[in-house]
Structure 1
Amino acid sequence: MKFSEILKYFLIWQLAIIIITYLSIQILPLRQTFKGGEDQSTPLNPQPFLKNPLLYSRANFDGIHYISIARRGYGYGQQAFFPLYPKLLSLLNSIFKNFTVTGILISSISFLFGVYLFSKLISLDHPGPVRKWTLIALFIFPVSFFFTSVYTEGLFFFLVIGSFYSARRSRWWLAGIFGFLAAYTRLAGIFFLPALIAEWWLQKKSFKALIPLILIPLGLLLYMSFLQRTTGDSLAFIHVQKLFGQGRSDKIILLYQVFWRYLKMIFTVNRADPLFLTILLEFITGLTFGIISIYSLFKQRLSYSVFNLLSFIIPTLTGTFTSLPRYVLVCFPAFIILGTWLHQTSKLNRLVYFSISCLGFILFLALFSRGYWVS
């Protein structure tokens, strides 16, 4: 697939995000907590969000933390956020002079090139129609808008795909560099190590090819070293999770316990509360990607299956599916499975899937843009 064609998909998707956000501003009441721009007020612009909600809504919730870290360094409880993204924010803001604009550009450009590499990665194993339906499934996923928000999703997706594509082409040093940067961006980056070792085994390369993969854990170790120096706790990124509430635990909770907890919530939470929709999305995501992860073990390359399973299962060990719909955005093997199914299934099934996914996309983007927690 040509870059120009991917750019067309991307621009249509961005136009849809802008239109939906604009309409949500007219329709939905604003929830006054964790609004983007809260940390960027000036005497001339004391309430950035209210002046330009179309822009600053993309920096809601976690975006506030990333911008705060970029401006002033780590504050209390912010060690859960890995450093590469805020470092890029701080560096590039000297050019663009607005942290939200800078964050959107970093995320958007990263994701655009990530999608281009993803199309090339898919083409290594699948025909054109599978590639097309996989990208459509990715673009219309209910929380795909996070890819171009002031979040790490766009950057991390680019690094994930870059590493796997490099490994598939036997460019191991490049795969290791991408993996290092990924592990310096999110904890899930460390999952590259077992996944790429599996890829090395599949390709039956020499032990020399394993040397670049040593770079991958160095990304995490570099951040842990920083935490040890500044907080005295090299695992602070784990221990601060409970500060965010949302049912997170710093102890391991098994998957079946999380499903049981969500079943109880579905039948007890007020269905008129927008939180119910988020809980339902989290539960469906957990169920769907759990099934896909098992299916992947039998139908996909071992390296893909390992990365997909770890990326899905590890976040659930905190005892909740909170943010899981966002975390699984980088489970690219799962989207390839969805794309394959969409290619092979009936037009009716495609229509049903497309309708449900697009409806979810519209609904959750509208809620997120007005300050409601989504993922």
Structure 2
Amino acid sequence: MSFSRLFKIFVLWQAAIIIVTMAAQYSSLPLRETFLGSGTQAYVEKPWAYSRENFDGMHYTYIASRGYGYSQQAFFPLYPALMRRLMTLPILNNAVTAGVLISVVAFLAGLYLFIKLILLDYSSSVAKWTILALLFFPASFFFTSVYTEGLFFFLTIAAFYSARTRHWLLAGIFGALASYTRFIGIFLFPALLIEWWQQGRRFKHFLPLLLIPLGLIIYMNYLNKTTGDPLAFFHVQVNFAQLRSEKLILLYQVFWRYLKMLLTVNRSDPLYLTIVLEFVTGVVFLVTTVYSFIKHRLSYAVFNFLTYIIPTLTGTFTSLPRYVLLCFPSFLLIGELLSRSPLARKIILGIFAVAFIIFLSFFARGYWVA
């Protein structure tokens, strides 16, 4: 897939996000104003823009504009720091505009590199259907919202592509930036260490990989100085009312909990559909995570496994549909299936498309999705 074709698909996808968001304003879904981006007035004037700031996006715009506030240490600093830089430009003095621009550009670049990464091992058909599976996925709109998904996706794919093409210094730099963007960036270290081991184990290629934990270390040092707790990014999670536990909860326990919720939660509540999405995501990505160890390079499988499993150990699948957006090997497996089976394309992409419209509408109207 050429960049020009990718760009056309990307523009159509963005147009679909705007159309669904605007159509949601005329739906029967009541507006929930609690976590609307920039408040109700700004949202009502430009829902196609400010809805992208809903929920966590508000924290990033706050940090970019004013610095860290109470319990905001859960949000890593690179993304809001880039937003703050862009906001110094006269035409980009709006935090939401800066955040969306970073996400859009980074994700588009990440998609292009993802195609190049896939083509190292697979056909152009697999690359095309993998990209489409990713864009059709029900939570994909987070990639270009005021969230870190778009930026982190680019940094992750860039780190893997650099390692695969033996540009180890670049791999280390991208990895360090990733661990300064999200905690799970640290998972690039064991994954790329495996890649280094399988590519010949030259010591001079190992040294740049030591840069990867640097982003996390810098942030932990900052937290230690400002809060006295280098793990504040983890400890403040309990303040976000997502039913996360500080104790280790095993995966089978999370599935059991969700089975009980599916039987007891009021099915007329929009939250019920979100619970269904979280549960189905948990099942599908468990299967693809396990299968990745059979089909993919070990470095891919390890990163996929850690990215999937670590959030579940807090006892919930809350936000999992957003977290698994970074499980690129799982999407590669789906792309392989779609490239072989026209029937699978109709079924999977059809389900994805319907769910995409539903959950984007929920998110745009102020309902929790991921």
Q: TM-score range by the shorter chain?
A: over 0.9
Is 1:66 aligned to residue 67 of structure 2?
A: no
State the TM-score, normalizing by the size of structure 2. 0.98
Q: What amino acid does structure 1 have at the position aligned with 2:24?
A: S
Q: CA deviation at 1:47?
A: 2.1
Q: What amino acid does structure 1 have at the position aligned with 2:75?
A: F
Spell out, residue by residue over 1:85-116, the C-alpha distance to the aligned partner (whole angstroms, 9 max, x if none): 01011111112011111111000000000000
Q: Distance in 2 between matches of 1:208 and 1:62?
A: 40
What's the secondary structure of 1:47's corresponding residue? helix
| Structure 2 residue aligned with 1:155 | 151
Spell out, residue by residue over 1:18-54, the C-alpha distance to the aligned partner (whole angstroms, 9 max, x if none): 110110011132111110013xxxxxxx821122111
What's the secondary structure of 2:209's corresponding residue? helix
What's the secondary structure of 2:34's corresponding residue? coil
Is 1:172 aligned to residue 173 of structure 2?
A: no
Is 1:49 aligned to residue 43 of structure 2?
A: yes
| Structure 1 residue aligned with 2:114 | 118
Is 1:217 aligned to residue 213 of structure 2?
A: yes
Q: 1:301 aligns with which of 297, 300, 306?
A: 297
Q: Distance in 2 between matches of 1:194 and 1:205?
A: 14
Q: Distance in 2 between matches of 1:235 and 1:69?
A: 18
Unaligned runs of 5+ in 1: 39-45
Q: Distance in 2 between matches of 1:29 and 1:18?
A: 19
| Structure 2 residue aligned with 1:8 | 8
Q: CA deviation at 1:348?
A: 2.3
| Structure 1 residue aligned with 2:183 | 187
Q: 2:77 aligns with which of 77, 83, 97?
A: 83
Q: Distance in 2 between matches of 1:235 and 1:123?
A: 39
CA RMSD of aligned residues (A): 0.9
Q: CA deviation at 1:84?
A: 0.4
| Structure 1 residue aligned with 2:245 | 249
| Structure 1 residue aligned with 2:346 | 351
| Structure 1 residue aligned with 2:365 | 370
Task: Confirm or deny: 8 A CA contact 2:224 2:230 kept in the other structure.
Answer: yes
Is 1:136 aligned to residue 132 of structure 2?
A: yes
Q: What amino acid does structure 1 have at the position aligned with 2:74?
A: A
Task: Confirm or deny: 8 A CA contact 2:337 2:344 kept in the other structure.
Answer: no
Moved beyond 4 Å, runs of 4+: none
What's the secondary structure of 2:333's corresponding residue? helix
Is 1:360 aligned to residue 364 of structure 2?
A: no
| Structure 1 residue aligned with 2:94 | 98
Q: Distance in 2 between matches of 1:353 and 1:8?
A: 22
| Structure 1 residue aligned with 2:35 | 34
Q: What amino acid does structure 1 have at the position aligned with 2:3?
A: F
Q: CA deviation at 1:359?
A: 0.3
